[in-house]
Amino acid sequence: MTKTANINARVEKDLKIKAEKVLRHVGVKTSDAITMFLRQVVLQRGLPFDVRVPNSETRKAIVELENPAKRKS
């Protein structure tokens, strides 16, 4: 199938660099990874992974991980 559409997306520079490193390691071009993602969205009729709001226990754990001073000893 001929690719005729373009997608422009702004992402954090560090995220792009890290993702490209992983993709190179597995032999996939960024554009091909995006195409795979979009195909999965279509096939699954939604995001190809769970998106959930964390419960209070998970939120507390996240805060503790992000803020070592708030960790319980």
Give the domain extent around 22.
13-70
Note the pTM of the prediction, 2 decimals.
0.69
Predicted confidence (pLDDT) at residue 73 exceeds the cutoff of 80: no
Is 44 contained in some domain?
A: yes
Is 7 contained in some domain?
A: no
Is 41 contained in some domain?
A: yes
Is 58 contained in some domain?
A: yes
Is 19 contained in some domain?
A: yes
Predicted confidence (pLDDT) at residue 71 exceeds the cutoff of 70: no
Is 45 contained in some domain?
A: yes
Question: Is 70:63 a contact under the CB 8 Å cutoff?
Answer: yes
Predicted confidence (pLDDT) at residue 21 exceeds the cutoff of 90: yes
CA dist., res. 62 & res. 66, Å (int): 6
Is 3 contained in some domain?
A: no
What string of H, E and C letters represents the secondary structure of the chain? Answer: CCCCCCCCCCCCHHHHHHHHHHHHHCCCCHHHHHHHHHHHHHHHCCCCCCCCCCCHHHHHHHHHHHCHHHCCC
Please give the tally of structural domains in the chain.
1
Predicted confidence (pLDDT) at residue 72 exceeds the cutoff of 70: no
What is the tens place of the pLDDT at every residue in 33-60? 999 999 999 999 999 998 888 899 999 9
Is 52 contained in some domain?
A: yes
Q: Radius of gyration over alpha carbons of the chain, in Å? A: 18
Confidence of residue 70 (pLDDT cuts 50, 70, 90): low
